[in-house]
Amino acid sequence: MDLSKLAFFLPEQAEEWARGGVVLAVGLAVAFLLWRAVVWLFTRPGVKGQPWAEVLRRPVGGAVFWGLALKSVGLAAEELTYLQQNAKYADLLSKTLALAWLAFVAIMALRFVLAVFPPTKDLTSDPTTAHRSNLFRKLSIGVVCVFAALFALRILGMDTTPLLAGGAVGGLIVGLALQESLSNVFSGILFSMDESVRVGDLVRLGDNQEGYVQRIGWRTTLIKLWDDSLLVVPNSQIGKEKIINLSYPALPFVVNVDFGVAYDSDLEKVEAVCLGVARQVQSGLTDSPDLRDPYVRWQGFRDSSIGVKVFLPVPSPDVQYRAKSEMVKALHRALGEQGIVVPNPIITLRPMEPVPAPET
């Protein structure tokens, strides 16, 4: 719109404000139309409901609208030449726009973080994913806020070099003072990223303590033991010692019972009895046809018996001790009924012959 024809009754500054207002209005209209186009693209049939669409819809839509809106404000400000010629106002306008762009980028980054790692308190469906999402969300938000604050200080004309140098020295001192705590924190982060152990897994630690992982936190991991007590383990300790994950990589879990039979036993009969008992115990635990059949392996000749080990696949590690207890009772009863002897360890002591005294 040519406003020069109205210059005979509009002051020069009013004409600039009018041009700026037209530029801003057009820019906002374009931003709104493009935002609606983005919303339509992410909500049309075939796209709506897709996980990637739900993650990108709000960040992309916000970036298009607010990015164009800020650009429109900048173009409108360029029309105000009298502000550009005033150093004080020009500096204030430049810093304001720069802070607005910084806030825009930070908010878009936070929106993307919240879309990728949404906050959730529902830890029942997938507790490991929920805990990892909360952890990465907090870390990402912290990083974005720190960088945004540093850039804001630089925009306002503050020299951040002493601040960074002081922060580095202070960070070194704090790191030395809190070395063990920081080790636990970083071990927890790596532990969550590695996914070798997940919340809900049954694990066995190096000292034979066994239980379910309840939570993987910043500093510690909580493990609920079989006696319902809660074991708090520092993450750095978990990173150093060996852990057996009884829930990974796949089920079923295999329980074994090790014992020995007398040397004069019929080994074929012993094997048949053991397999019959194992199948009976297995059927009492589950009716799933997907489990493997029990099997027997002979271990070798021992001091007073022939070693045998019975392997019993069970549906999950949860029932391992119950299955082993039932196996021991059933085997003891069945072997006794069949007359198969499980000998006790026998130690034979032979007295040494007296040593004759030397002749004089």
| pLDDT means over runs of 10, the chain (360 residues) | 44 70 83 83 76 73 78 76 67 76 81 74 56 73 83 76 62 56 64 73 83 81 87 79 76 85 91 92 79 89 90 86 91 91 75 68
* 253-337 CATH fold: Alpha-Beta Plaits (3.30.70)
54 burial type by CB count under 10 A (0-12 exposed, 13-18 middle, 19+ buried): middle
Q: Does domain 182-245 have CATH number 1.20.1260.10?
A: no
pTM of the entire predicted model: 0.50
How much is the pLDDT for 10? Answer: 46
Structure confidence at residue 333 (pLDDT)? 93
> Hey, where are the domains in the chain?
4-166, 182-245, 253-337
Please report, rounded to a whole number, the percentage of residues in the chain having pLDDT higher than 70: 72
pLDDT at site 123: 47
- 304-360 residue pLDDT tens: 889 999 999 888 888 888 899 999 999 999 999 999 988 887 666 667 677 676 666
